[in-house]
């Protein structure tokens, strides 16, 4: 249910106080996080060397799960179908207040955040608390790497997802999964680039994986993004090249499999990478590729059109062809080499216009958006000079402006902030190019963007 006009005005007034309260918020956030993480032993553990996950030390007594539950009040994940104790396949997934999340998703603008998985429930519950209590959101996005879950055909490793699905249900959070990366056994015959990300030879193998996934977690998944950035070669290493028709064939197989299990799940087409490169080999310009996808029938198999825009060093309201010059900017791309891909506004409006030109009212799902900052990091990832031009306060301002823009447009269904916790789980390794976008900053300090996002209180809007 949407908030009333008076409530919305009050929320907008609250956002005016964000900067004034910044110092207090940062201080209290630092104290809170220090207490939580010293209590759970996370600060002293550092990141692992495989994926950057926090490694919580084994708890005493040998019964790790029981000890974790006693220490945090978090029950260990309920067994899902296929394990020793099965949950009923048809039982709706409800939270403690009884809110039923298994029905159709309301067709109103909703905001979520990318959360990196962690197989330890004591850690993942902390992430859910950040999402629900501080950012006040009711959606999370998580990437699922098919190659990791089904490395051998028919043999699955569900451990991390079992934790995610149980604790998101307990927190009454809707889940969008982005399912990518075919395992070697499913890749195209004759493909010599198995060390790179690429699609399967037979789209039905991908569809079968989605079926297994959804049947294991009935009612837990609310949206699925079918692949990621398939207009660039490094995400779609195929012997057939970057053919839009082959992606649409994959999308159709995925759509049919998803709807056969649960017609309420939102099918999102893979978001494109905004790029000015258009050689047809390494990459296609996203506007060009979007038109090719539409002509190949993409809109027939998508409830929502996926999109990305991880911002550079201009705000979200600035069109590509009207960027005011900033002589102090270190990164000069948007100023000296105008192109739509620099601009949040122009990129997303360009997608919507192409969808409308095709006679469709299909909305966008922005599966990644954010602005990187390196002011509090010891270094920066290679090629991230633009992040030097952004401050944490500007990042908060950009998020607030972007959210307001998307609400006003009326053409966006879902949008996901990139990201909550990559910084924490990677130990704020400044060489990791996901870290500058993280809302959790070094020393567990929440970025000012917490206030900008939380002021909207999307959780109250979309959970009633």
Q: What is the CATH number of the domain that holds 183?
A: 3.20.20.80
| pLDDT higher at 242 or 37 | 242
pLDDT at 243: 97
pLDDT at 21: 41
pLDDT at 22: 38
* Distance from C-alpha of 146 to C-alpha of 162, rounded to nearest angstrom: 15
- Looking at residues 310-335, what average pLDDT do you find? 97
Cis peptide before 419 (omega within 30 of 0): yes
Asked if residue 130 lies in contact with residue 116, where contact means CB atoms within 8 angstroms, the answer is no
Please write the tens of the pLDDT for every residue from 340-364.
999 999 999 999 999 999 999 999 9
Task: Fill in the DSSP letter of residue 105.
Answer: P
Q: What is the DSSP string of 230-249?
A: TTBGGG---TT-S-HHHHHH
pLDDT at 276: 87
Please write the tens of the pLDDT for every residue from 196-209.
999 999 999 999 99
Q: Range of 286's domain?
A: 5-462
Give the 3-state secondary structure of residue 361: coil
Total domains in the chain come to: 1
Please write the tens of the pLDDT for every residue from 97-135.
446 787 899 999 999 999 999 889 999 999 999 999 999
Please write the tens of the pLDDT for every residue from 181-195.
999 999 999 988 888
* Distance from C-alpha of 433 to C-alpha of 384, rounded to nearest angstrom: 8
Please write the tens of the pLDDT for every residue from 23-34.
434 344 443 444
Q: What is the pTM of this model?
A: 0.83
What's the CA dihedral at 79, 101, 112, 5 to 10 degrees? -160
**How much of the chain, in percent, has pLDDT values that exceed 90?**
75
170: pLDDT strictly greater than 80: yes
8: pLDDT strictly greater than 90: no
What's the CA dihedral at 341, 342, 344, 348 to 10 degrees? -10
309 bridge partner residues: 369
- Given CA atoms 289, 292, 294, 296 in this order, what sign does their dihedral have? negative
Scored b (16 or more CB within 10 A) or e, 12-31 reads eeebeebeeeeeebbeebee
pLDDT at 425: 92
- In this structure, what are the phi and psi dihedrals at residue 369, rounded to the nearest 5 degrees? -155, 145
* Distance from C-alpha of 215 to C-alpha of 262, rounded to nearest angstrom: 9
Give the list of residues 6+ apart from residue 398 with CB closer than 8 angstroms, or none: 311, 315, 316, 371, 390
Please write the tens of the pLDDT for every residue from 245-302.
999 999 999 999 999 999 999 999 999 999 989 999 999 999 999 999 999 999 999 9
**How much of the chain, in percent, has pLDDT values that exceed 70?**
78
> What's the farthest any 2 CA atoms get from each other in the chain?
64
């Amino acid at each position: 249910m949407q908030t009333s006009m008076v409530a919305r005005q009050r929320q907008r007034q609250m956002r005016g106080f964000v900067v004034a309260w910044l110092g207090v918020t940062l201080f209290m956030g630092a104290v809170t996080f220090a207490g939580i993480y010293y209590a759970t032993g996370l600060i002293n553990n550092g990141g692992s060397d495989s994926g950057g996950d926090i490694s919580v030390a084994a708890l005493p007594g040998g019964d790790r799960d029981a000890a974790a539950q006693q220490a945090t009040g978090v029950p260990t994940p309920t067994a899902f179908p296929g394990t020793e104790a099965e949950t009923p396949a048809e039982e709706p997934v409800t939270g403690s207040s009884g809110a039923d999340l298994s029905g159709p998703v309301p067709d109103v603008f909703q905001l979520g955040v990318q959360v990196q998985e962690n197989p330890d429930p004591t850690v993942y519950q902390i992430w859910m608390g950040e999402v629900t209590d501080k950012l006040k959101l009711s959606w999370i996005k998580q990437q699922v790497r098919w190659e990791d879950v089904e490395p051998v055909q028919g043999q699955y490793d569900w451990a991390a997802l079992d934790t995610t699905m149980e604790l998101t249900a307990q927190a009454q959070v809707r889940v969008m999964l982005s399912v990518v990366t075919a395992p070697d056994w499913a890749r195209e015959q004759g493909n010599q680039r198995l060390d790179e990300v690429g699609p399967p030879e037979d789209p039905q193998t991908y569809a079968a994986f989605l079926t297994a996934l959804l049947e294991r977690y009935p009612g837990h998944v609310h949206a699925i993004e079918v692949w990621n950035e398939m207009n660039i070669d490094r995400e779609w290493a195929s012997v057939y090249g970057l053919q839009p028709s082959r992606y649409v064939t994959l999308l159709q197989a995925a759509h049919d499999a998803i709807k056969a299990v649960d017609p309420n799940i939102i099918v999102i087409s893979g978001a494109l990478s905004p790029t000015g490169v258009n050689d047809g080999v390494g990459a296609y310009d996203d506007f060009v590729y979007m038109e090719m996808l539409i002509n190949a029938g993409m809109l027939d198999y998508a409830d929502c059109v996926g999109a990305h825009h991880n911002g550079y060093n201009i705000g979200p309201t600035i069109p590509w062809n009207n960027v005011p010059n900033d002589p102090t900017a270190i990164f000069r791309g948007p100023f000296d080499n105008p192109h739509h891909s620099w601009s949040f506004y122009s990129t997303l409006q360009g997608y919507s216009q192409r969808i409308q030109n095709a006679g469709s009212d299909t909305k966008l799902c922005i599966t990644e958006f954010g602005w990187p900052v390196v002011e509090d990091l010891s270094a920066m990832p290679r090629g991230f000079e633009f992040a030097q031009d952004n401050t944490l306060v500007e990042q908060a301002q950009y998020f607030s402006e972007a959210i307001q823009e998307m609400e006003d447009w009326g053409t966006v269904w879902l949008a996901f902030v990139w990201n909550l916790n990559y910084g924490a789980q990677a130990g704020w390794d400044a060489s990791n190019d996901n870290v500058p976008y993280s809302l959790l900053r070094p020393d567990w300090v929440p970025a000012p963007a917490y206030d900008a996002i939380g002021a909207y209180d999307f959780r109250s809007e979309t959970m009633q």
